[in-house]
């Protein structure tokens, strides 16, 4: 059995909670914190410690995994009063798992250096069930010595570890490329299902054909199956792909690239969120396309 050491996870929502339970089941000592105290307390029956604040959660951890939503929350967790940077011991490591802009990851890594802390840029993909069983993907960018020191933890979290580079920020870039394509695929799947319905086809049968044919995509199948069943309970909030497609387009523009579909997908998610779907599962995009007056009978000229 691989050696274990104390780990903390800040943010135990859908993904962070799955990661915590996975590690606990494998015998890792895990402390958790979440701004929603009920989420943290739900981890206690699985063996987690749930201290009252971030400082107590991180103080004895060899690695603190940050699993919050965005850069603003990440900064508060790392450098706010009683945050991770002030609490961890010299030589310990912070693992950044949210989808962030590359320049934010680079800045956080730079700012952690004076505290004597290392950074692992490790955005994740795969959804809560794969976080729970350890089969999610991690896109890892960090120094080689840091990677080797924490290889056992990384491989406990993910059976799909992609070693991107030694430069924090490159993991974020890779994740944004992936999530832009995920967003484009999901918009395309919602359009195709709405089109099938408008043509009088059985959408479930049509989706079955797509899943066995060239139009198949994992996110399309996963989200459209739920949407067609009227299940919009959020496994991945609409607001997340809204943020991710926006960040991806910004990163592309910073690199001097502008493709034909990214901005369109970004705008669709932004409009769906503005219409009040931000708290629903992103599969609810189907209902937004179905009911939008521009698409429901064709664009009017």
Do 99 and 27 share a structural domain? yes
Residue at which a domain ends, from 168, 194, 223? 168
Do 269 and 228 share a structural domain? yes
Query: Does any domain span residue 201?
Result: yes
Do 182 and 36 share a structural domain? no
Q: Report d(CA 284, CA 51) in Å as an integer.
A: 36
Do 237 and 155 share a structural domain? no
Q: For 260-275, what is the mean pLDDT?
A: 97
More confident residue, 298 or 203: 203
Query: Does any domain span residue 132?
Result: yes
Which pLDDT score is estimated for 1?
56
Residue at which a domain ends, from 116, 139, 168? 168
Virtual CA dihedral for 251, 256, 258, 259, nearest 10 degrees? -90
Q: Which residue segment(s) compose the domain that 103 sits in?
A: 7-168
Do 129 and 57 share a structural domain? yes
Do 49 and 27 share a structural domain? yes
Do 20 and 57 share a structural domain? yes
Query: Does any domain span residue 299?
Result: no
pLDDT > 90: percent of the chain: 94
Q: For 235-258, what is the mean pLDDT?
A: 95
Give the domain CATH number at 95: 3.40.50.720
Query: Does any domain span residue 1?
Result: no
> What pLDDT, in 10s, does the model give residues 57-87?
999 999 999 999 999 999 999 999 999 999 9
Q: For 98-119, what is the mean pLDDT?
A: 98
Q: Residue 253 pLDDT > 60, yes or no?
A: yes
Which pLDDT score is estimated for 89?
97
Do 92 and 16 share a structural domain? yes
Report DSSP letters for 45-90, one per residue. GGT-B--SSHHHHHTT-SEEEE--SSHHHHHHHHHSTT-HHHHSPT
> What pLDDT, in 10s, does the model give residues 181-230?
999 999 999 999 999 999 999 999 999 999 999 999 999 999 999 999 99
Do 125 and 181 share a structural domain? no
Q: Which of 110, 175, 296, 300 is catalytic?
A: 175
Which pLDDT score is estimated for 197?
93
Which pLDDT score is estimated for 137?
96
Query: Does any domain span residue 124?
Result: yes
> What pLDDT, in 10s, does the model give residues 121-174?
999 998 899 999 999 999 999 999 999 999 999 999 999 999 999 999 999 999
Do 148 and 204 share a structural domain? no
Closest CA to 117 of 98, 95, 94: 94
Concerning whether 175 is annotated as a catalytic residue, the answer is yes
Query: Does any domain span residue 113?
Result: yes
Q: Report d(CA 229, CA 236) in Å as an integer.
A: 16
Only one residue has tokens 């705008």, namely: 267
Give the domain CATH number at 201: 1.10.1040.10
Q: What is the pTM of this model?
A: 0.91
Do 126 and 73 share a structural domain? yes
The single-letter DSSP state of residue 281 is B
Task: Kindly indicate the confidence band of residue 297, based on its pLDDT and cuts at 50, 70 and 90.
Answer: low
Helix (H, G, I), strand (E, B) or coil at 93: strand
Which pLDDT score is estimated for 293?
86
| Mean pLDDT computed over every residue of the chain | 95
Do 191 and 52 share a structural domain? no
pLDDT > 70: percent of the chain: 97
Q: Report d(CA 187, CA 277) in Å as an integer.
A: 14
Query: Does any domain span residue 70?
Result: yes
Tokens of 183: 């967003």
Which pLDDT score is estimated for 295?
82
Query: Does any domain span residue 230?
Result: yes
Helix (H, G, I), strand (E, B) or coil at 121: strand
Which pLDDT score is estimated for 299?
40
Q: Residue 13 pLDDT > 50, yes or no?
A: yes
Q: Report the domain count for the chain.
A: 2
Alpha helices in 52-202, H assignment, sequence order: 54-58, 71-79, 84-87, 102-112, 128-133, 144-149, 151-157, 170-198
Please report the sign of the dihedral spanned by the C-alpha atoms of residue 199, residue 204, residue 210, residue 216.
Answer: positive
């Amino acid at each position: 059995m691989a050696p274990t050491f104390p780990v903390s996870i800040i943010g135990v929502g859908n993904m962070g909670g799955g990661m915590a339970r996975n590690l606990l089941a494998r015998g890792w000592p895990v402390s958790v914190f979440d701004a929603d105290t009920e989420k943290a307390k739900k981890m206690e029956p699985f063996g987690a410690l749930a201290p009252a604040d971030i400082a107590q959660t991180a103080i004895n951890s060899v690695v603190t995994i940050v699993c919050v939503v965005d850069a603003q929350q990440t900064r508060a967790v790392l450098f706010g009063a009683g945050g991770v940077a002030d609490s961890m011991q010299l030589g310990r490591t912070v693992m950044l798992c949210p989808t962030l802009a590359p320049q934010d990851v680079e800045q956080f890594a730079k700012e952690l250096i004076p505290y004597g802390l290392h950074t692992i840029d490790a955005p994740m993909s795969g959804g809560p069930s794969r976080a729970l069983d350890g089969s999610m993907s991690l896109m890892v960018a960090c120094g080689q010595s840091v990677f080797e020191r924490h290889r056992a933890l990384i491989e406990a979290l993910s059976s799909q570890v992609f070693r991107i580079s030694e430069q924090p920020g490159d993991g974020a870039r890779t994740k944004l490329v992936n999530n832009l394509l995920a967003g484009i695929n999901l918009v395309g799947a919602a359009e195709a299902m709405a089109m099938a319905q408008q043509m009088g086809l059985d959408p479930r049968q049509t989706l079955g054909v797509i899943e066995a044919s060239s139009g198949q995509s994992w996110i399309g199948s996963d989200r459209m199956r739920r949407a067609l069943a009227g299940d919009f309970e959020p496994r991945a909030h609409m607001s997340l792909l809204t943020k991710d497609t926006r960040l991806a387009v910004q990163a592309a523009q910073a690199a001097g690239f502008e493709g034909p579909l990214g901005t369109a997908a970004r705008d669709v998610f932004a409009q769906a969120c503005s219409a009040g779907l931000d708290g629903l599962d992103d599969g609810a995009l189907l209902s937004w396309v179905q009911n939008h007056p521009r698409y429901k009978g064709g664009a009017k000229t």
